[in-house]
Structure 1
């Protein structure tokens, strides 16, 4: 990865032991042994094996008569699971005969501000976890023995499902162990209720419709359960109409797409900073009017923000509200642009004050249908209210894919048809704001 390669520059001149084929670690093990024996000062992707357990390490740095192990993460902080991983690496490496003086986890430093070429000394920060991983060694050895027993057993372990199935990551066997859980309507879909879900399941309640009527639930949860139990919808017309009456026209249905690169791409930006590169606008002059469409997509030749803001300020006039879905995101983007482009700050901050949230009637429960299944996101609301409008036929179907593809364009890594990708990105963002027009139309019909 880009982060991994830059991390190697922090310790330059290393011997690369990366296996040619993923999971084919025999050559990597041999290359690592050879590099250690030859007196290498730095080794990349070092591989070690002890008693049937394999460990691969991002960077191994010679330190006097011993070594310092460095594991690289694209995270901005050292998480508990990173330390657990490091403890296993420490066990395997030291047991294979390599003396480790220290174990470090290297993460991204969000305080780094890029100016000129990427400064790998400031992009990363090292955290010494040596004391923690040494203290965990008895636990690591016991865990290895336990897992070996599981692998060698003739029958699968009898372990009930629970929160551990997704902690810290989703288990590969979840589809097998969860086969008895219905795809829809289980208590494990109860909204905002992680502990409550498992409490109900432990009592033998699998379906939401079987939750006792006297069970204490939040209002949003009761809406969801009643939807399954009674197929009950909620339409609070008076509140919806009052909210609609406060919208000021021309109404600008508005959506940003952003990239959040771990490694800053442009001067004046930080790791994981939100950088808007695209927007879509559907503008209605009056309630129910046929919308006109406007859009922007950066050309990927450099920082797109100045050109985006210039066109945005032309496309949105001084009158009318901006309507976004989960509007806190669009407000944050506008305020971030105002911070980074101070010459446009007054106009951008004025736009941020005009943003209203289309999610409000759904989040507050004024409009609810069972198909929403307790959710108020556009991905839940659109198919429930406007099933004919679907992202299924689009090549780009969600924001993460749009962000990934544009980041590839910016870094010159995209190998497909660039013009087709631009068309796909424009079609996706246009669908986002068209969906808002259609959802608003449903609300106007109550």
Structure 2
């Protein structure tokens, strides 16, 4: 091992990866902190999952020394500590940190066995991805040039085949994959990445780089709002079911808005409808199809919506990494048209598996012979079939529910009703303001599914009763609006 460098690092693994994705992203991160947006609750949950999974993987190699810095300003101490532990003969180091040529990289787990060092990088994903190889290639480059020879380098990721039964079995929870061959093939490129990133950091003005697919590949860039500020709310980027590369081909030709599309430009029927209704400002209504769809409905109608969360590490027996776990439902029941609604709801507690009580209460709330109205039938049907496998005693009741389900998304997916304000989307978040503008998710503390997932799982880490109560009330309010929105949307369709 070489003695640690005395100068503070210019680049880390994460900032190098920013620069590889887009030089502007790196430059803004370092030079324009004012542009950095606040991290959303859903994004914070993703980061927290990565941290939690990394710490859990340490159990694969227990009793190691931990070089984690107290904060991001104290990596020099981690580098010094790593060097001293290696020199002292320690065999397992967590967050082992190295620096070479003013580039710093930490590896999740470093293990010495029979005199040979092996590096393990832990990911909270369920497979090895291209960006993981690039991460590891830079780590290998820094560690090797800092004077430590690695016999191998692995990605440790979650095993989706693992089904929890009793205590968590970390040996089954993780898969370990050697990527040394792929990492070695990238070593020359790593030198170029570092040189280019250092050049970017020396620039006095932001680098020239237009928007492109790199804005969201491999990750959505936090500076998109700034870089895309010239793109209008309605643009070719909203064209439904058009591949991103084709949208950018139009953009690079100077075609950004619908009116700029050349005459005869090839579009699908749905895309053509989207363009024409916007340019001519009209709403497409297929009256006969809508009336037939509405008239087929059998009362009493049951409007049903689920919320699920997807723990990276299974919390309950008979669950797997990232499995959808239903934790909440809202049901509105309408006996006949234009009558008062009955509302039923359920919200579990993440400390215990909510699924058994969920399905028991759902069966009771949806009993009857009328249609069960959902928005996006595939999601609710899939969750019900999973619950059917888990609770075979409810097979008959769930079969009856599945046969009664009808999808309110269908009229919008088939463009029997299309408003230009939907901007090419038929999600309920786009349909609701177009048909029922007086109802809105914007005023809710929790206004979309990702935030609901994060809020529910986050309850595990909240001690205060008042705070828990507030979050639970927000979750109930959000899910209730989902089913009420379906009621109001159907009322509008019935007026056609």
TM-score in terms of structure 1 length: 0.96
Deviation at residue 415 of structure 1 after TM alignment: 3.4
Tell me if 1:441 matches 2:495. no
- The 1:274–1:26 alpha-carbon spacing in structure 2 relative to 1, beyond 3 Å, is same
| Alignment check: 8 A CA contact 2:462 2:468 kept | yes
Structure 2 SS opposite 1:293: strand
2:63 is equivalent to residue 13 of structure 1:
yes
Q: Structure 2 matches for 1:15-414, cutoff 5 A?
A: 15-182=65-232, 184-193=233-242, 194-409=244-459, 412-414=460-462
Match of 2:292, SS? helix
In structure 2, C-alpha distance between the alignment counterparts of 1:115 and 1:280, rounded to whole Å: 30
- Confirm or deny: 8 A CA contact 1:209 1:228 kept in the other structure: no
Shift of 1:324: 0.7
Instruction: Please tell me the root mean square deviation across aligned C-alpha atoms, in Å.
Output: 1.5
Deviations 1:92-125 (A, max 9, x none): 1111111111010010001111111100000000
How far is the alpha carbon of 1:345 from its aligned partner?
1.5
Q: How far apart in 2 are the matches of 1:328 and 1:11?
A: 41
Q: Following TM superposition, by how much is the alpha carbon of 1:195 offset from its aligned partner in structure 2, in angstroms?
A: 2.4
Q: 1:160-192 CA distances to partner (integer Å, 9 max, x unpaired)?
A: 22112211112344344333222x112122221
Which string of whole-angstrom CA distances, capped at 9 and with x for unpartnered residues, describes residues 196-254 of structure 1?
Answer: 21121121101123212311101111122123322121011111011111111111110
Give the Cα–Cα distance (whole angstroms) in 2 for the partners of residues 27 and 227 of structure 1: 62
Aligned length: 443
Gaps of 5+ in 2: 1-50
Secondary structure of 1:102's aligned partner: strand
Q: Which has the higher contact order (CA 8 A, sep 6+)?
A: 2
TM-score by length of 2: 0.86
| Structure 1, unaligned runs of 5 or more | none
Query: 3-state SS of the aligned residue for 2:364?
Result: helix
| Residue of 450, 463, 471 corresponding to 1:415 | 463
The answer as to whether partners of 2:103 and 2:142 remain within 8 angstroms in 1 is: yes
Residues 406 and 158 (structure 1 numbering): CA distance in 2 closer, same or farther, change over 3 Å?
closer
| Residue 300 of structure 1, CA deviation | 3.6
Query: 1:23: Cα distance to partner?
Result: 5.0
